[in-house]
Structure 1
Amino acid sequence: MITTRDIAERLQLSVSTVGRALSDDDRISEPTKVRVRQAAAEMGYVGNRAARMMRGASSNVVGLVIPDIRNSFYSTIAHELSKNIEAQGFQLMLSETDDDRMVELRHLRELSTSRVAGVIIVPTARPRSESVKLLRTIPHVQLLRKHSSLGSQWFGVDDFEALRQATAHLVDQGHTRIGYVGGPAELPTGAERLKGFRSALADGGLPDEAAQIELGRPSSIEEGRRAVQRLLEGPSVPTAIVLGSVQLTLGVLGELSRMGVKVPEDLSVVGFGDEPGFSWWGPGLTTMSLPIQEMATGCGLWLMRRLTTNPNDDSAYASVSPGSLILRGSTAPPAHTRSKPRRKA
């Protein structure tokens, strides 16, 4: 393994001069830094990050803590963040919590021990107090979900307005029995989306009985399947369904296809997110599209600016991105008479 001593011997410099040059110390002239870096690259020198951390320096790693990498929201976010922070000389480290707050705590402990430069986190519903304390020692920003205990620096979408707009579209078409399949209200995103759904019903003059609500894990396709089964096999079948997560949308669409439900003749559907296949699913899915790539890019660039200018600046900052309703063929006014959707034999 090539060491700083090997570089020093080659360049006839002291080991301390080589070390300072590699760490960009102001006491070393720029020409000397260039010579040292060039020699290090030619000789295949790899810096000892552990030694730097023992001296109190942070790494160039940024931790991304998310619930589920299988969710296209989070895989898109990870991809965009990786590109943006790599361009600034940082590296992304991915941690997956499965929305388990103990797993979240273990990941944060490891990231803290590794002296990460910063953390971008989609927090669980109830982060443990130890997690809150750890994040107070690390520059961090919340993404999508926001907890007051974790600070006031946040990038997210307008969840309330997204679901209000999606549901209002169905109300405007004359639907009076509308189902909602979304994440649990204990999640900040789930609570806001449920409020938006209820607000649109109230604005349309519909009673509470017009709402048929199924809440489950937002990252579970299977829960979407089971939720739509319960809605369509209940005593009062909805004429329309609005969805509150990408994975739940995928589950509902798969189950509707399996059951042979005609959309929008039997049931109108408004999805959440805009996956590549949504435009050609059935008649084309009317859905709420969210600017995930733009939000991730903004979050990454903002954190990079903080880390490179003032890592200790924890002043409040919030960026809220709006969604947009994409109208396709999966919604229509309800039929005059409605029976339970026919299932394939």
Structure 2
Amino acid sequence: MVAIVDVAKMAKVSTATVSRVLTNNKNVSPKTRAKVLEAVNQLEYKPNRLASNLRKMSSNTVMAVVPDITNPFFSSILQGFKDVALANGYHVLLGDTGNSLEQERNYINLVKERVVDGLILATARLPKEEILAASQEIPVVLACEYIDGFDIPTVSIDNVSAAREAVEYLIHLGHRRIGLITGPLSVILSRDRVKGYYQALNLNEIQIEGVLIQEGDFTVHSGYETMLKLLALEDPPTAVFATNDEMAAGAIKAIKQKGFEVPKDISIIGFDDIPLCGLIEPELTTISQPRYDVGYQAMQMLLNTIKKEELIRKQIVLPHRLMHRNTCCKYNPIG
């Protein structure tokens, strides 16, 4: 491998002079600069970026960690990350935990070694003390998820009020027996959406029945399996709130497979507004998150933190919107 010393020998200059040429330092004569660049071209020298980064204590690279890269929810968020980073001369490394706590921990430990300049977590399932400890060593921003009581920059929506709005919409349509398919309750977003479900029922004086609440894992398969359990009840729900769109899609499949119709027999509402919503039949009513804006603002906050610029707001809550499509209708007790 060609080293900087080889370039220096061919150009008959010091390694410091080669370094100045490669970093566009103006304190080099045009004649010397030409000799160095000629040697670089002849030897096909490639600068060692890692060594350069260590000298500068900067890599111009950040890492974004997501829980499941196969989930289309994260595509627009990642686009927002990338657009801001590239516009500011940064590269983005992607870490996919595969919903593994250990892999999430591995990524955090990696960035603590200063391989990258900062970290965005679109998942925060580790004990909050571990994430706080990382944030004290390297700039960290949370996207979508948050940690209650910690002063870590965060971009999210109000999941409690969004879930409450979804369930109140079903109540407005006349439904009183409303099932809930939730994501893993170890995830704070899932707990917030369950809280919104509880609030909507309590505000409308509807009894909460544990048998109507099923825990999934945000996948289509879990939505399908949990919906089968709800359909097997002696008195199944007339409407179901699935706390993400993939589980809602799985629920629709189960309903159809059992010979029922959506929304005639059972209304379904999802959460996230991923592209799948407009492709399934009928098109899915859902809560829409501004996913690109979440990614855009989270990366902007991270780069500002890396540059030691003061953040005007550390906790950004973006608006959500209920998207009315074709999977919900008024409850007709006669059928």
CA distance in 1, matches of 2:222, 2:125: 18
User: Is the contact between residue 224 and residue 251 of structure 2 (CA under 8 Å) also seen in structure 1?
Assistant: yes
CA distance in 2, matches of 1:41, 1:244: 57
Instruction: Work out whether 1:75 is the aligned partner of 2:75.
Output: yes
User: Is the contact between residue 245 and residue 286 of structure 2 (CA under 8 Å) also seen in structure 1?
Assistant: no
Q: How does 1:228-267 map to 2 (within 5 A)?
A: 228-267=227-266
- CA deviations 1:148-190 (Å, max 9, x no partner) are 4764210111111111111111101110100111113332111
Instruction: Work out whether 1:321 is the aligned partner of 2:302.
Output: no
Cα-Cα RMSD:
3.2
CA distance in 2, matches of 1:36, 1:178: 73
Q: Secondary structure at the match of 1:301?
A: helix
CA distance in 1, matches of 2:67, 2:254: 24
Q: Which residue of 2 aligns with 1:173?
A: 173
Q: Which residue of 2 aligns with 1:336?
A: 333
Distance 1:277 1:247, change over 3 A: closer
Q: Which residue of 2 aligns with 1:278?
A: 277
Distance 1:250 1:299, change over 3 A: same
Q: Secondary structure at the match of 1:181?
A: strand
CA distance in 2, matches of 1:92, 1:117: 10
2:161 corresponds to which letter in structure 1? Answer: E
2:298 corresponds to which letter in structure 1? Answer: C
Distance 1:130 1:295, change over 3 A: closer
Distance 1:318 1:5, change over 3 A: same
Q: How does 1:1-345 map to 2 (within 5 A)?
A: 1-5=1-5, 8=8, 13-23=13-23, 45-55=45-55, 57-127=57-127, 129-148=129-148, 151-209=151-209, 212-218=212-218, 220-307=219-306, 310-311=307-308, 317-337=314-334
CA distance in 2, matches of 1:200, 1:109: 41
Unmatched segments (≥5 aa) in structure 2: none
Percent sequence identity over aligned pairs: 27
Q: Secondary structure at the match of 2:79?
A: helix
Q: Secondary structure at the match of 1:208?
A: coil
Distance 1:326 1:318, change over 3 A: same
- CA deviations 1:285-324 (Å, max 9, x no partner) are 21111110111111112222332xx348689601111211
User: Is the contact between residue 104 and residue 126 of structure 2 (CA under 8 Å) also seen in structure 1?
Assistant: no
TM-score of the pair, normalised by structure 2:
0.86
CA distance in 2, matches of 1:315, 1:137: 21
User: Is the contact between residue 21 and residue 36 of structure 1 (CA under 8 Å) also seen in structure 2?
Assistant: yes
User: Is the contact between residue 5 and residue 15 of structure 1 (CA under 8 Å) also seen in structure 2?
Assistant: yes
Q: Which residue of 2 aligns with 1:341?
A: none
Aligned length: 335
User: Is the contact between residue 278 and residue 285 of structure 1 (CA under 8 Å) also seen in structure 2?
Assistant: yes
Q: Secondary structure at the match of 1:283?
A: coil
TM-score of the pair, normalised by structure 1:
0.84
Unmatched segments (≥5 aa) in structure 1: 339-345
Distance 1:97 1:173, change over 3 A: same
